[in-house]
Chains A and B, each alone.
Chain A
Amino acid sequence: MKTNKLNEQAEGDDMTSAETAGGSGPDKAAPLLEVRDLQVEFKVRDNVTKAVNGVSYSVDAGETLAVLGESGSGKSVTAQAIMGILDSPPGRISGGEIYFQGQEILSMPENERRRLRGAKMAMIFQDALSSLNPVLSVGFQLGEMFRAHRGMSRKDAKAKAIELMDRVRIPAAKQRVGDYPHEFSGGMRQRIMIAMALALEPDLIIADEPTTALDVTVQAQVMDLLAELQREYNMGLILITHDLGVVADVADKIAVMYAGRIVETAPVHEIYKRPAHPYTEGLLASIPRLDQKGQELYAIKGLPPNLQNIPSGCAFNPRCARAEDVCRTDIPVLSQVTERDGTELVGRGSACHFWKETIHG
């Protein structure tokens, strides 16, 4: 629990406001969403897999936070914990708090939680084909949001569904409202998922790899649409992805995750210029560039860690070129990154013992 305390310090004064509001109704001054030292583990027989080991981040209204990480880094599990759709058992939230509009939501009774889901916070999933019900028409599934949450009649709900399909620019929405998911193309299905998430005008949207399954030209369409709607409704957006390119376009700030921890946070422009963690540095160097023909690619050696057996100290140490003895014993905390002369860089943090060497060369 030592890391946990230090993490909170690194978060700075954002959290004090949430602290005072603690559980007494929505608070407008608090960040839209604040995750504090979240820990999630999965227990299968006698094996405990620690998927999330103390993650803290916050999102404001109208802001886009990109959570970047490879498979198994805990980025999706964090999102599931926020939405309250974690498979439990085997999953279990073993520590931490989540504040939504100043209210702690992990301790809420399930029926209140359910009212938040869909209405206040919504999620867009990666694979639209398997997220939509194949035996119900798209219009029915969109209308379901209004029938369940707003108690609308079937007829009104259908009218609303057509309106939503228009919003996400599905051509001939009126004719297609009765079509089934398989009759739409991949890009259109993903737009229907977006429409469904937007239906009740939530304050927060979590998009889990929304464009990974799509072709590049369609990916650009969908990302543009999502960004435009976010601006319009002034929503908070958490964009979960493994693609450094997609992030560069739409995010305001980035949190890089590795083995269930946040290893670096930064405003989007700075992370590409000056990464402050060797993992981020390695990731950026290992992707081929479209605009230049490179030499041999830099490859991060080794493999992502096994979450049942996370290396001691810094989880990245077996793959890191800068690793020294201290990295094998002490878990680095997310600490404020500063310029050479000590001025603080706003919003930047790095969980590396040698962040100074990494960023300043």
Chain B
Amino acid sequence: MADIEKKPVDATPNVTEVAKTEASTETAAVNAIEEPAAQGEPIIQVRNLVKHFPLTQGILFKKQVGAVKAVDGISFDLYAGETLGIVGESGCGKSTVAKLLMLLEQATAGEIFYKGQDITKLSGRALKAVRRNIQMVFQDPYTSLNPRMTVGDIIGEPFDIHPEVAPKGDRRRRVQELLDVVGLNPEYINRYPHQFSGGQRQRIGIARGLALNPEIIICDEPVSALDVSVQAQVINLMEKLQDEFNLSYLFIAHDLSIVRHISDRVGVMYLGKMAEIGTDAQIYEHPTHPYTQALLSAVPVPDPEAREGRERIILSGDVPSPANPPSGCRFRTRCWKAQDKCATEVPLLAVPERFKASKTPAAHESACHFAEEKDVVHAAS
């Protein structure tokens, strides 16, 4: 692991200072975690998060020849009760972010603060308490449910690890309650996953995510494997549950229309970096990063008339390999605005200088040297 650069790759200076909670004892740490989060306050704060996967050569004496820079220094906040959408093409590192937040992967560098505590450094009871509060819904409802377990066992399994949430005698009733909450018949408790359709299975996955009353649910492409008519049902269900249980969602998807529908704020990722982040109106109506503009303009809109007046930006080429990303701005190889500066200087994720003074929606964080506002979603009139 020697070759991996430990230096924080372009630290984003503008993100707010993290109010760190100092907990001297484990009990104090657990108590701090159990404290409910205040509405509108940041619940998760990610700072300069880096994940490099080493590339090795040789069988007996493995030596590292490089690294896939899946996530290369990103920072963002997730507020209590909001939905933060993360979009990007395949290979941009969005799923790695999900795994890092779940602590399923160990970060190479950087910090993840949950209520002011860096969870990458926690262990023991405090870590267990964090894990209870952050749950996940997976993409593929066909492979994320064990085919040999009944629905009751699947949804009830989290209680084996966290028995304090539901005492043993109460579990069956609790599972039935959860089935009811996600719109499934509570009598299906003894059925197996194969007896359900894709949409119903995803509801089971959501029920499992809800079992431990978490505060945060990380959804990694939760509807992309579903049919169009069923997608809407699941999205509506997720919105309903968010209001009911006051959940915060980190919603990862590649479908920009769905992300706009469900998100309060949206972050656009490209090759392991955050290209642009802002509220849904800022990103969709007033994008300033060329990549966001190209991404939005490429989305097919199901209305031939609305699209005729729209400008379409067709990018050339493919996404470069994250093992060997371009120098400077990572998007420059496909960008039509790229100049010499882009090859040498890494653009920082910050509110562009020219928009700083203005109160317009264009004043949001964008990592481009030549940020310019451009509406690509609506038809030019």
Contacts and interface: CB of A to CB of B under 8 A. Distances in A.
A301 B233 CA distance: 8
Contacts of B257: 245, 287-290
B239 interface: yes
B177 interface: no
A296 B301 contact: no
B284 interface: yes
Contact of B302 (A215, A224, A287, A298): A287
Interface stretch (B116-124, B157-165, B307-315): B307-315
B261 A220 contact: no
A200 interface: no
A288 B319 CA distance: 27
**Interface-centre pick from A185, A187, A246, A288 (highest chain B CB count, 10 A):** A288
B233 A71 contact: no
Nearest to B300: A245
A351 B281 CA distance: 40
B131 interface: no
Interface string B161-201: 00000000000000000000000000000000000010110
B271 to A, nearest CB: 13
B230 interface: yes
Given A272-B304, A283-B229, A288-B258, A221 B199 contact: no
A245 B229 contact: no
A226 to B, nearest CB: 13
Contact of B298 (A217, A242, A282, A283): A217
Given A272-B303, A287-B257, A221 B227 contact: no
Given A218-B318, A297-B232, A290 B89 contact: no
B295 to A, nearest CB: 6
A119 to B, nearest CB: 31
Contacts of A283: 228-229
Interface string B296-335: 1011111111110000101110110000000000000000
A296 B228 contact: no
A293 B302 contact: no
A294 interface: yes
Given A70-B227, A244-B228, A291 B261 contact: no
Contacts of A243: 228, 300
B254 interface: yes
A300 interface: yes
Scoring B239, B280, B298 by chain A CB atoms within 10 A of each residue's CB, the highest score goes to B298
Contacts of B235: 288, 297
A246 B228 CA distance: 13
B99 interface: no
Contacts of A249: 300, 304, 307
A176 to B, nearest CB: 13
Given A188-B318, A221-B314, A248-B301, A215 B229 contact: no
Interface in B77-112: 89-90
B298 A187 contact: no
B7 to A, nearest CB: 30
A284 B302 contact: yes
Given A244-B228, A248-B300, A294-B261, A303 B377 contact: no
Contact of A269 (B305, B314, B378): B305
B260 interface: yes
Contacts, number: 134
A23 interface: no
Contacts of B261: 288-289, 293-294, 297
Most buried by A among B230, B233, B302: B302
Contacts of A224: 314
Nearest to A286: B232
A242 B226 CA distance: 11
Interface in A318-343: none
B300 A296 contact: no
A246 B315 CA distance: 17
Interface in B201-256: 227-233, 235-236, 239, 254, 256
Given A215-B254, A249-B307, A297-B235, A291 B230 contact: no
A71 B230 CA distance: 11
Interface residues on A, range: 35 or more
Given A215-B89, A224-B314, A298 B232 contact: yes
Contacts of A297: 232, 235-236, 261
A248 B302 contact: yes
A242 B228 contact: yes
A62 interface: no
A138 B200 CA distance: 41
Contact of B236 (A185, A246, A299): A299
A205 interface: no
Interface string B365-377: 0000000000001
A287 B228 contact: yes
Contacts of A137: none
A243 B298 CA distance: 14
B197 A219 contact: no
B315 to A, nearest CB: 5
Given A216-B254, A248-B302, A286 B227 contact: no
Contacts of B227: 70-71, 242, 304
A301 B257 CA distance: 21
A303 B298 contact: no
B294 interface: yes
B266 to A, nearest CB: 11
Interface string A211-236: 00001111111001000000000000
8 contacts: A185-B319, A269-B305, A272-B302, A286-B231, A290-B299, A291-B306, A297-B235, A299-B229
Given A224-B314, A283-B229, 12 more contacts: A185-B318, A186-B318, A216-B254, A216-B299, A244-B228, A272-B302, A286-B228, A286-B232, A289-B301, A300-B233, A303-B197, A304-B230
Interface of A: 70-71, 185-188, 215-221, 224, 242-249, 268-269, 272-273, 282-284, 286-291, 293-294, 296-301, 303-304
10 tightest CB-CB pairs across the interface, nearest first?
A245-B300, A288-B261, A286-B232, A244-B302, A299-B232, A215-B89, A220-B298, A70-B227, A300-B229, A297-B232
